[in-house]
Each structure stands twice: as structure tokens, then as C-alpha cells.
Amino acid sequence: MASHSASEGIQGWGVPIASGYFTIPVVNRARSGSSARSWIRDGFWYNTRQLLKSGDYVIIELGHNDGGGPTATTQRGSVVGEGSETQTVTLSNGTTEVVHTFNWYIGKMIDEAIAKGAHPIVSSQTPNNPYENVSTINSTPGRFEGYAKNIAATKGVPFVSHFNSCIDVYSTLGKATTESYFPNDHTHTNAAGAAQVAKAFIGGLKCSSAQNALKGYFTSTSTAISAYC
């Protein structure tokens, strides 16, 4: 989702989605390498929240960097589960941190966005290269797909299964084309891949779980994209 320089050879879908899909401005606040935990702990959510105005839409999509557990050396992993469980850890700088579940962090962002009069949309993480080392597409999601779906339902906010919508797009494109979108690793797409992931998000917005969010702001380009449900 995050923006990258051309020299890196990769690009996040937050870049193409900001141009040509909506009739309202799109601001990409994503930061590469963030988890739900680090996004809040390191102040990125606070800074984003300060910019929110009543009526804004907030797309919340995390999960790629949230695994590994609270004690992983990345210092990004959340507590396994979906409830109020916590674990206190000591960080590499010597400070302590109370680590929560993924759903606690996403729920906090949802609540605080609503408190500002904004409209949160929960989007599940996109798939890694689903053809890696297999000839038939791997369409099995990880646990953060379910986590994202469940917290959106609990809070009663729109949900986009970006994982499933991407799988639909990649299934149509096939193995060779899909794998060309992952030049460096199995997680990050190039610019061509980011364009397909953006398209998949629009298609996901057309599913019933998205509650018609942003539909009134579609351009003709978005209107022409099929639903991926």
C-alpha cells in the first residue's frame, strides 16, 4: 500500500488508487513495514488521526507485518487471538510495552476514526504471490483475513476482503502474469501489480460487506470494474 521510489522496483497499491478511481482526493498515509501494533505505538496513527475531518473515509489495511508474536525481534507482532489479551515485553531500547491483539489495535483505530466523524473501512491484507512454488493458485488466507473480517463485523463498519478480490484477479491473469508482479520477493508487487491490486480493491468495494462505502465517489473507471466477491 505504501509508496516506493522507482529505484526499488516495487510499488504499493495506495499509489495508483489515488489517481483516477475516485472523485474525491485520496491521501496515502501508509508506511512500509508497519504493523497494527507499530502503527499505533510509533505515532503514525496519532498523526493520521489529527488530520481527520468529519466525513472523511479511512481505509485500514494491515496484517503483512503483524505475525511473529509480541517477542519477535521485529517488535511488530501482536498477541495471537482476537480478544483483550495482552503481553508486556521489553523493547530493544529498554522500554516496556503492553502488546495487544491485532483486533484490539484495529478496533482502537475504528473507534477513534468514528469519534472524529470519519468513516472507517476495514480491508484485509493482500495475498503474497499465490503461485509461489505451486502450479495452481493458493487461495487459502492467513489468520489476519479472518481477524479483519471479524473486527469489522463487531464494530459494524464496512469490510473489503482485499485478499479474496486479489485472488479473483490473479486467477484470471494466471501464473506467469501474476508472478511477473513480484520481482523482488513474494510480498511486494511492482507498479503493474499495484495497479491490479488497486483494481481488486475497487471490485471488493462492490461486495455487500462493503456496505456501498465510497460508491457515490466512483469515477467512470471504477464503475466499469467488475465486483470481486
DSSP string computed for 68-96: S-TTSTTS-PPBSSSSS--EEEE-TTS-E
Query: Which helix (DSSP H) or strand (DSSP E) does residue 199 occupy?
Result: helix 191-205
Give the pLDDT of residue 55. Answer: 98
Within 13 Å, how many C-alpha atoms sit on residue 220's CB side? 0
- Give per-residue pLDDT as tens, 177-204: 999 999 999 999 999 999 999 999 999 9
High-pLDDT (> 90) share of the chain, %? 100
Residue 119, C-alpha cell as written in the block: 468513516
Question: What is the rounded average pLDDT for all residues in the chain?
Answer: 97
- The predicted-structure confidence for 90-144, as pLDDT tens digits, reads as follows 999 999 999 999 999 999 999 999 999 999 999 999 999 999 999 999 999 999 9
d(CA 210, CA 9): 32
Domain boundaries defined on the chain: 6-224
Average pLDDT over residues 5-10: 93
| Local confidence band at 156 (pLDDT 50, 70, 90 cut-offs) | very high
Quick one: which of 85, 82, 87, 95 has its CA closest to 71?
A: 87
Q: What is the pTM of this model?
A: 0.96
Q: What is the per-residue pLDDT for 214?
A: 98
Residues 200-216 have pLDDT tens digits of 999 999 999 999 999 99
Element (H, E) at 58: strand 57-60
Which top CATH class is 6-224?
alpha beta
Rounded distance between C-alpha atoms, residue 38 and residue 77, angstroms: 8
- In the chain, what is the straight-line distance between the N-terminal and C-terminal CA atoms, in Å? 21
Residue 70 pLDDT grade (very low, low, confident, very high; cuts 50, 70, 90): very high
Where is 97: in which H helix or E strand? strand 96-99
Q: How confident is the model at residue 13 (pLDDT cuts 50, 70, 90)?
A: very high
Interval 24-38 mean pLDDT? 96
Smallest CA-to-CA distance from 126 within 151, 160, 158, 102 is with 160
